[in-house]
Structure 1
Amino acid sequence: MIKNLLLPNRYKWLGWCLLLPGLIAGIIITATDYEANWLSMRMFSIANQDLLGFARYFTFTKVNFTGTLAGILILVGGMLVAFSREKQEDEFIARLRLSSLMWAVVVNYVLLLLALLFVYGMSFFHVMVYNMFTVLLIFIARFNYLLYKNNKTVSDEK
């Protein structure tokens, strides 16, 4: 049997504590274009292209870290939530994980296909930014929904 490479269950709580504020911050930043002044700083950049198309590589550039911080919280928190064991991890839970992951990938690529067909310009760029997070978020939503549905069914049978 192949050993699952999952984190201990205690990391799930930490993941939720990072993921939820990251999602809230990301929604607020997206809706209002908010940038915290205290998060403006010079950062090392591997590649940076300005609006005129001039590209610079391996340099320091002044950026606002607000959106980046929200993205980091979403990614790290989401990965901790997604890859932490359940309290009782068994083959049924492993099967739920696999089916949820497959479902998330299929839904993600159907949404991406629709975006390729119907979204253009800067709106498409925004869709691609959101697409960085969708597989992870869809997986978390689907897996937790299936766990909830299963737990509800088991408790109804008792």
Structure 2
Amino acid sequence: MSPEGEEWQLGHRIQEPCGQAQDWWELHPVTLVRPGAGETTTRLLCATCDEAVDCVVVSEAGRRRRRWRTRAVSVAAASGAILLTAGSVGGVTGMFVLGAEGKPLLAAASGAMGLIYYWLTYLIGPHIRPWGTTAPGDEDVRLVSPSPVHELRPPSRRSEIPAPDQAV
């Protein structure tokens, strides 16, 4: 990160003419400055098509708050999924036990509760995320509206590949 801001890349998709199944991205370096608080909208100019592209940049405090919120939701969802799975197993087990005892209505009710718990576990699943990720649409730098030809890419973590005539 430079003192002026973070170096990101604005990508522009180039598609081959019909019949070719290949497209590539032209990448242009852009510098994005994080606001002190909240979020700000920045207008970038694509060097390929000269189109203005708006992006949202979130402050460092906003990034931390969103990361912790995502982690809290993930932990709560995982805990709920564990409890609902236990309830689902208990409901299905109860269905077999009550059915063997000759209580068909209670067995059906227990099986129905097991299926409801299983369905709720299925609904909670998408909210369980790996520890370091954020929810879709909750990135710290993003385009204001989705674009089929533009994309923002974070700074590259790997070093640049040297030219063939340069020593490594």
Shorter-chain TM band = under 0.3
Query: Relative to total residues, which structure has the larger helix share, 1 or 2?
Result: 1
TM norm structure 2? 0.25
Query: Relative to total residues, which structure has the larger strand share, 1 or 2?
Result: 2
Structure index of larger Rg: 2
TM norm structure 1? 0.26
